[in-house]
Structure 1
Amino acid sequence: MVEEEELRSFMFLMTYMLLKRRRDINNANVQRRNEIQRRVRHRQYFLQRQRRMLMMMIAGNMPSNARIRTRPWVSTPRTDWWERVVMTEFQPSDWLDKFRMSQETFFYLCDKLRPRLARQDTCFRLALPVEKRVAVALWRLASNIEYRTISTLFGVGKSTVCRCVRDMCHAIVALLSSAYLRTPDEQELEDSAQLFLSRFGFPHCVAAVATLHTAIISPSNNASDYANPAGWLSVLSQVAVNGRGQFWDVCASFPGGTDPADILQNSSLWATAAEGGLSPATLPIFMGKPLRYVLLGETCYPLQSWLMNAYPEEKGRGASHVALTESQQLFNQQITRALQVSEEALLRLRARWQCLSKRNDCGLDVVPTMILACCILHNICESHGDAFKVEWQMEVSESESPQPSHKQLLSTSLDQSHAEDVRNLFCDYFELQNN
């Protein structure tokens, strides 16, 4: 009995000593980690302070005439450039040149994206404000310059610049697509039809379908699939543009060698239009007949009862050659004029966001989201009435990647007879207008 009591006391003592030893080891580990973190913070602080002092010495040794000629926000590589210069010294023209939007639209965008872009401070560093994250991403989309240049300008790491671009593009698509990239309702369809009629003289039309090629770097797999008709590598997108020159449907991420007709036939736009989703329940009257609204497209798309394209310039070859009639030639002239709305919209899109006009060195997992984000940003700027500078278009016209042209589709459509009847109806309309 006595031996059992002694054994029990001994076991209790050993258990207590083991638990105390474990607690002491854990406390020592926690103190060691805290000391390491404190030293890291101090080292970062002194390195940043040393960098500031070095920049101040360099700025102080510059010639006085050089300091006078150069704008301070161009040549001062300080980490507080955003707070010290952009937020206090930028003029309206600076906001438009650098961010491709007005200051009011910029802060509107920041407020909309705040739920997805806001970050919490950590014990190591302060989180970047939402405004600075958006500014970093917009600078990249607008200029397509290298990450390291933006990194030096804003005083952040290159990985931070890449993360800002990726996060903002995903946030724009997730939060703003439902408001700025959606199928129009009946009233918006009617307004678009009125705009096509008043601006381009084409009646009963609500949108124009077009293609956009975005140059990319060579992918690791299936690079030949991304070679477009012009011979360079690209990602192909399909867009639908309304009468205001804004996008309401974008289908991105296809290799540049894909046939535009295949993209259209496998898109939600085809399903919606074929089922009559682009017309009101009560069909509007055209030339005395109830007819659904139509879309306009290039000859690379199949002719449908809801999709009009131009007559081929040659209906046959040799002895079977048939010239176009006067009404058909008039129809081609009118549809070519109306398709200018999509050409102008894509030109303004690529001019405002030059990541789409120059070769984009982002990964293929980011490029489609970036294209969608740029289309949404285009709609935001257009709807807010932000100014557009003509010199931006000159930069696009001199870009290294001009848009290629697609070959005419030779295959017939599934409803060729009915589609031809609809196209003939438009020919009769233009002939009446001409007479």
Structure 2
Amino acid sequence: MPGSAHDANVLRQSDLFQRSHLLPKGVKNIEGQDTRLLIVGDPAYPLLDWLLKGYINSAHLTPEQESFNAYLSSLRVGVENTFGILKSRWRVLLKRSDFHFTFTPTVIATCCALHNFCQTEKDNANSRWLEEACDLNAIYPQPNHSVNMECNATGSNARIALTNYMSTHFPLRTGHFH
């Protein structure tokens, strides 16, 4: 989809969304709730039975919910850093495509495979490239408007179970890390 499309709209029209029923169904019982494997998403995405996101920030969050959000946010930072490295190394991901958009998944998969090869060979990304990629991200930000996508009850139950589990097994945390 075009770069100006909101993340949630891109997700809704993606193969991942259409084929989410094919995702692995590994189940673990957490705080009495059978919870399957989940993909972690940022606040732009809906809460689904296979897609986990944090609680919407408000003054009414419990300390456990705030802690859950802090842990989830710190988890996402590693993913975002990896995407930054990927975009800094493969500049084709930073600019407007000169090829038909249907070829984009092949380009991304190729860049990921080449990135993994470089990582295996200990060929690190140049720090100057990372700075340039960050500068370009600031110049061309992704859209920030909200999209109405309802939350799924199963996803909500899984998030509550994970919040309860984390609050009894991990120290409470505050703050966001992105």
TM tier relative to shorter chain: 0.7 to 0.9
**Structure 1 counterpart of 2:43, which letter?**
T
Does 2:6 align with 1:262?
A: no
Give the RMSD, CA atoms, in angstroms. Answer: 2.7
Q: CA deviation at 1:343?
A: 0.6
Aligned residues: 169
**Structure 2 counterpart of 1:364, which letter?**
H
Superposed counterparts of 1:39-118, under 5 Å? none
Q: CA deviation at 1:333?
A: 0.7
Distance 1:325 1:366 in 2: 44
**Structure 1 counterpart of 2:144, which letter?**
H
Match of residue 407, structure 1, among 103, 123, 145: 145
**Structure 2 counterpart of 1:337, which letter?**
S
Distance 2:156 2:37 in 1: 15
Partner of 2:56 in structure 1? Answer: 312
Contact 2:6 2:142 (C-alpha < 8 Å) held by counterparts: no
Does 2:160 align with 1:424?
A: yes
Contact 1:311 1:332 (C-alpha < 8 Å) held by counterparts: yes
Partner of 1:327 in structure 2? Answer: 64
Match of residue 279, structure 1, among 5, 8, 25: 25
**Structure 1 counterpart of 2:13, which letter?**
N
Distance 2:28 2:121 in 1: 31
Distance 1:407 1:380 in 2: 36
**Structure 1 counterpart of 2:156, which letter?**
E
Evaluate the alpha carbon distance shift between residue 307 and residue 347 of structure 1 in structure 2; reply closer, same or farther with a 3 A threshold: same
Evaluate the alpha carbon distance shift between residue 394 and residue 259 of structure 1 in structure 2; reply closer, same or farther with a 3 A threshold: closer
Superposed counterparts of 1:25-424, under 5 Å? 254-273=1-20, 275=21, 277-280=23-26, 283-314=27-58, 323-357=60-94, 359-360=95-96, 362-364=98-100, 368=104, 369-399=106-136, 401-413=139-151, 416-424=152-160
The 3-state SS of whatever aligns with 1:376 is helix
**Structure 2 counterpart of 1:286, which letter?**
I
Contact 2:4 2:143 (C-alpha < 8 Å) held by counterparts: no
How does the TM-score come out when normalised to structure 1?
A: 0.35
| Gaps in structure 1 of 5+ consecutive residues | 1-253, 315-321
The 3-state SS of whatever aligns with 1:290 is strand
**Structure 1 counterpart of 2:112, which letter?**
C
How does the TM-score come out when normalised to structure 2?
A: 0.78
Deviations 1:311-354 (A, max 9, x none): 1113xxxxxxx521111111111111111122111100111112
Higher Rg = 1
Distance 1:394 1:381 in 2: 19
Deviations 1:405-430 (A, max 9, x none): 533444313xx322221111111122
Evaluate the alpha carbon distance shift between residue 264 and residue 375 of structure 1 in structure 2; reply closer, same or farther with a 3 A threshold: same
Identity %: 22
Deviations 1:18-67 (A, max 9, x none): xxxxxxxxxxxxxxxxxxxxxxxxxxxxxxxxxxxxxxxxxxxxxxxxxx
Partner of 2:176 in structure 1? Answer: none
The 3-state SS of whatever aligns with 2:118 is helix
| Gaps in structure 2 of 5+ consecutive residues | 173-178
* Larger RCO, structure (CA 8 Å, separation 6 or more): 2
**Structure 2 counterpart of 1:279, which letter?**
K
Distance 1:421 1:327 in 2: 15
Where has structure 1 moved over 4 Å in runs of 4 or more?
Answer: none
Evaluate the alpha carbon distance shift between residue 288 and residue 384 of structure 1 in structure 2; reply closer, same or farther with a 3 A threshold: farther
Distance 1:299 1:366 in 2: 27
Contact 1:350 1:356 (C-alpha < 8 Å) held by counterparts: yes
